[in-house]
A and B are shown apart, each in its own frame.
Chain A
Amino acid sequence: MAAQPVIRVEQLSKRYLIGHERATRGGETFREMLMSNGRRLVRTARDMARGRQIVQGDEIEAFWALKDVSFDVQQGEVLGVIGRNGAGKSTLLKVLSRITEPFAGRVTIRGRVASLLEVGTGFHPELTGRENIFLNGAILGMTRAEVRRKFDEIVAFAEVERFLDTPVKRYSSGMYVRLAFAVAAHLEPEILIVDEVLAVGDAEFQRKCLGKMHDVAGSGRTVLFVSHNMAAINSLCHRAVQLSGGELVFQGEVAEAIEHYSSTLAEETDLVFPADPARAAITGIRIDREALKRRDLDLTIAFRSPVPVARPIGGIVLRAIGGEPLWGSNGRFHPSGEQVNGLTEGVVRCQVQDIPLVPGKYILSIWLGDYYTDFDEKIDLTVITLGRTEPGSLDHLRPPPAVQGYLDWGARWSVLPA
């Protein structure tokens, strides 16, 4: 008997209605404002009478978060879901978790699903750690007997023994996240759906979480895993699907999928982002294309902040197309030595000479912070091409990085007669 897929997704679509405020030209009169509010009132009243959803704004637009997506997941498979922000990954997980219903198409699921779209869902600040373990366990679908059986394990994993009877509002954010992940990590459903939850906590704890995820993935359970961390996807998943603009653009072996994903990351050298009124944010990135050809990196990170930043610090990471981090730097451990006194707007410039990496494509991630906090980051922002094949070079004789690695460091060979 051919094994039936555990999850079958057929022509799944999800549509949202979103409203836009019509841009008001300056000098709107009071009468015009009354008129437009009146029209809006009439429209919302009509929608309400028909039992329809009320959409704020003057113009309504249909937005397809998922469009005609089809794929199968087999028993015991660990499937990665990749794509840029807004590609529809989270919407897909929400539909599969039965949080929101499909607009069209059909999903068939065989087995009990537990989904982990957020760490600490339903944690109540007034309740103690012990109480929250039971609360969160029940929310994630565990029975009380099950939580009791695993209680000691959960507490040990989270390393919060001493604070079990303290309300979690008194916890440090690290403790809070550890406790929350510990509960989730001890779920044992047949199908587990996980959204980008490993990106929390300190590095040590992230390693522990990843290890736990490996255990889950190795235990024959079916897992759907969304992450921006290609290294995590690569090490956990067998297969991956790539979404782009709500459509499924690739599915296949994880290595091929990651390669495909990286090739669709455009090679952009001039990027602009909106400022955030609430916190310091990266507003633009510019990369010197000519410098890249010489394997030099010369990039500027523009930032804007609502409050002056005493010491803006930038950071960059280069990763291989497969997701492995290769090299990184930030102003904390490569300090500039310049004294800056509080900027609300400015640029951080990074210059690197002759990066010793094999010529080829690499994925660039950018980070912004100050000496104590992280402000903003752009993970897998763009692909850059380092170096170029010089005429007469012997690069074509070089074995692929999978064999000899990414480091390009010269060696002097000599042959001596015996």
Chain B
Amino acid sequence: MRRRTTSAAAPETILEAGRAERNYWRDLWQYRELFQVLAWRDVTVRYKQTVIGVLWAVLRPFLTMVIFTVIFSRLAKLPAEGDAPYALMVFAGMLPWTFFSTALTDASSSLVANGNLVTKVYFPRLIVPTAAIMVAFVDFAIGLAIMALMMVWYQFAPGPEVLLLPVFVVLGFLAALGPSLWITSLNVRYRDFRYLTPFLVQFGLYVSPVGFSSGIVPDEWRLLYSVNPMVGVIDGFRWALLGGETPLYWPGLVMSLAVSAGFLWLGIAKFRRVERSFADLM
């Protein structure tokens, strides 16, 4: 093993019951290559032995978008945001939502799926669910490309707000990370969560403003609605991609942010508390 320049003297590790790892964050940094390799492995393996391969990443969100557009716009006659075509608005919401749901589903089962690693090798366990979330970015990038194509098709040019899109991508990542870590650590101990997660994700699709604009929520309920952290992220995506004609609802965004931050703290704290016992529970 390459001697790290930072540790001229051999690092001393003390193992004791319930002892918090002093060098945890440094370890995490030292294991960054494992993180990259695991993410790369999952990306490489993801669409092997499927017939239409990566097309799945295109088809799933696209078909959902078509169905949502038909149901919410044509049948339910809900209004679009500003003068953007309804399909674009749905897809701009689908992007972060698909990312969130893929991340949550894959991350929550990632530790159990990698049980052979967890019981045989040490590494900061945080790497596994986080790498699983990174994989969701691949589908997300493909989705973004479809979004661009659709904008060309509808001849819709985004405004300068699009430059702020990366900010909302990071927000989306953090919003997914917190609940993912929390559910991941629960799933190792109580496998009930394997059945709960798909249900949560399905349920979330309808409570989040994916098929409709959050503008249709009555003003007095809007802040409460934003307790769902994905509301802020989806609104942000729409605002950045479709132009700022409908201004951002700031109190909602702040609320979503605060809830995301709370979940993140909760997730990391819970994960750190139980990760040392993961190998015993596999």
Q: Using CB atoms and an 8 Å cutoff, list the residues of chain A in contact with chain B.
A: 16, 48, 53-54, 94-115, 117-118, 121-122, 124, 126-127, 131, 134-135, 138-146, 187-190
Contacts and interface: CB of A to CB of B under 8 A. Distances in A.
B34 to A, nearest CB: 5
B1 A114 contact: yes
Interface residues of B, number: 38
A99 B281 contact: no
Contacts of B41: 124, 127, 131, 135
B235 to A, nearest CB: 35
Contact of A141 (B1, B45, B277, B280): B1
B16 interface: yes
A87 to B, nearest CB: 19
Interface string B22-60: 000000000001101110010011001100000000000
B71 interface: no
B14 interface: yes
Interface stretch (B87-95, B117-125, B144-152, B204-212): B117-125
11 contacts: A97-B122, A99-B118, A100-B277, A101-B16, A101-B17, A102-B16, A102-B17, A105-B16, A106-B16, A122-B116, A124-B45
Contacts, number: 123
Nearest to A98: B122
Given A122-B117, A139-B37, 16 more contacts: A48-B190, A98-B122, A100-B279, A101-B15, A101-B277, A103-B17, A104-B17, A109-B15, A110-B12, A110-B13, A112-B10, A115-B121, A138-B37, A139-B121, A140-B121, A144-B37
Contact of B117 (A16, A104, A134, A139): A139
B194 interface: no
A108 B118 CA distance: 22
Interface string B1-19: 1100000001111111111
Contacts of B14: 106-109
Contacts of A16: 280
State the 9 A-B residue pairs at the shortest beta-carbon distance, nearest first. A138-B37, A98-B122, A111-B10, A101-B276, A107-B15, A121-B120, A109-B13, A100-B279, A110-B10
Contacts of A135: 37, 41
A98 B13 contact: yes
B11 A111 contact: yes
A127 B33 contact: no
B272 interface: no
B119 A143 contact: no
A134 B36 CA distance: 11
Contacts of B222: none
